[in-house]
């Protein structure tokens, strides 16, 4: 995983193998440029950079919806992109590049919006299959043959799955205790992923997220960790917005 100063970066690479599946031989840094909360709505902005070592150009980027209805903004230039909020009956945010993103290039900002707060979800990257697009359609045909009714645990065949920050739907019980428990759970996950590398900071943040939660102290530790380089911006944006949701209004 690469740490970025101005944007979070998660290094997404196919598992080492002699012959990766078509569509999975792609190496991409997925960066979150920022997360903004406005009332009950959250906006996440991503930028993807295809590494020069990637075996394939980037064809599509998908973020799991986890039940939240997304608004997906079509990036510029608009004639280079197709967006959707559903994929094979599953609610998602999806961007497909008509002009494939080549090795060494980056996408424009990719923006999604939904009611809810930031959380950890799954994402999928799909590389362009060489030597021609017909091979990609053949891959899709294989998937449909295996799951004619659209079922199956692995619905994203021939895509590379990565952990991401996305938008969770509102909690069923929006109490202070429920929000604090979610913040602590996300803090634990961020530490487990290595998004927070200082064990002391992890212990402090987990304690401050517990009951009763101390969001201002939590934010101070989070900011200090970011300045020290032990909290990457993936953890920073997600946990910052979650902790601010617990802060008393002035």
List 37's β-bridge partners, or say none: 42
Task: Pick the last residue of a domain from 129, 149, 168.
Answer: 168
- Kindly state whether residue 4 falls inside one of the protein's structural domains: no
- Kindly state whether residue 2 falls inside one of the protein's structural domains: no
Report residue 151 as tokens. Answer: 């079922």
Helices assigned H by DSSP within the chain: 133-146, 176-193, 199-209, 215-228, 233-246
Q: Within this chain, do residues 114 and 147 fall inside the same structural domain, yes or no?
A: yes
Q: Within this chain, do residues 106 and 142 fall inside the same structural domain, yes or no?
A: yes
C-alpha 128 chain-centroid distance:
20
Q: Within this chain, do residues 156 and 205 fall inside the same structural domain, yes or no?
A: no
Q: Give the per-residue pLDDT at 144.
A: 52
pLDDT-derived band at 66 (thresholds 50, 70, 90) equals low
How many other C-beta atoms are found inside a 10 Å radius of the C-beta of residue 157?
Answer: 18
Q: Within this chain, do residues 121 and 48 fall inside the same structural domain, yes or no?
A: yes
Q: Are the C-beta atoms of residues 64 and 92 closer than 8 Å to each other?
A: yes
Kindly report the average pLDDT of the chain as a whole number: 82
Q: Within this chain, do residues 66 and 87 fall inside the same structural domain, yes or no?
A: yes
> Of 51, 47, 50, 48, which Cα lies nearest the Cα of 33?
47
Task: Pick the last residue of a domain from 137, 168, 199.
Answer: 168
Q: Residue range 157-174: average pLDDT?
A: 85
Residue 132 has pLDDT above 80, yes or no: no
Q: Within this chain, do residues 162 and 184 fall inside the same structural domain, yes or no?
A: no
The alpha-carbon radius of gyration of the chain (Å, integer) is 19
Residue 89 has pLDDT above 80, yes or no: no
List 49's β-bridge partners, or say none: 29, 106
Kindly provide the residue ranges of all beta strands, DSSP E only, lying in the chain, ordered along the sequence: 10-12, 28-38, 41-50, 58-64, 71-72, 81-87, 90-101, 110-115, 117-127, 160-168
- Kindly state whether residue 217 falls inside one of the protein's structural domains: yes
The residue range of the domain holding 67 is 10-168
Residue 13 has pLDDT above 70, yes or no: no
Q: Within this chain, do residues 112 and 45 fall inside the same structural domain, yes or no?
A: yes
Q: Within this chain, do residues 130 and 15 fall inside the same structural domain, yes or no?
A: yes
Q: How many domains does one find in the chain?
A: 2
Q: Within this chain, do residues 30 and 67 fall inside the same structural domain, yes or no?
A: yes
Q: Within this chain, do residues 74 and 132 fall inside the same structural domain, yes or no?
A: yes
Q: Are the C-beta atoms of residues 95 and 45 closer than 8 Å to each other?
A: no
**Lowest-pLDDT range of 62-71, 115-124, 163-172, 211-220:** 62-71
Q: Within this chain, do residues 157 and 196 fall inside the same structural domain, yes or no?
A: no
CA distance 50 to 140: 23
Q: Residue range 104-112: average pLDDT?
A: 96
Total-model pTM: 0.81
């Amino acid at each position: 995983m690469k740490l970025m100063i101005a944007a979070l970066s998660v290094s997404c690479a196919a598992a080492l193998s002699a012959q990766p599946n078509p569509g999975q031989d792609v190496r991409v840094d997925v960066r979150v440029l920022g997360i903004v909360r406005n009332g009950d709505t959250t906006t996440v902005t991503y930028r993807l950079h295809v590494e020069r070592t990637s075996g394939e150009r980037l064809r599509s980027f998908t973020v799991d919806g986890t039940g939240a209805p997304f608004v997906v903004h079509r990036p510029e230039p608009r004639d280079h992109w197709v967006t959707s909020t559903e994929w094979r009956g599953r609610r998602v945010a999806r961007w497909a590049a008509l002009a494939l993103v080549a090795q060494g290039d980056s996408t424009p900002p990719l923006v999604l919006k939904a009611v809810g707060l930031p959380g950890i979800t799954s994402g999928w990257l799909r590389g362009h299959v060489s030597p021609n697009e017909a091979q990609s359609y053949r891959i899709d045909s294989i998937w449909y043959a295996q799951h004619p009714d659209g079922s199956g645990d692995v619905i994203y065949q021939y895509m590379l799955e990565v952990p991401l920050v996305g938008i969770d739907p509102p909690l069923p019980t929006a109490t202070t205790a429920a929000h604090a428990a979610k913040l602590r759970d996300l803090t634990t996950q961020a530490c487990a992923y290595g998004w927070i590398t200082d064990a002391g900071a992890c212990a402090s943040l987990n304690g401050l997220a517990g009951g009763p939660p101390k969001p201002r102290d939590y934010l101070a530790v989070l900011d200090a960790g970011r300045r020290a380089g032990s909290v990457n911006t993936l953890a920073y944006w997600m946990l910052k917005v979650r902790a601010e949701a617990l802060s008393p209004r002035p």
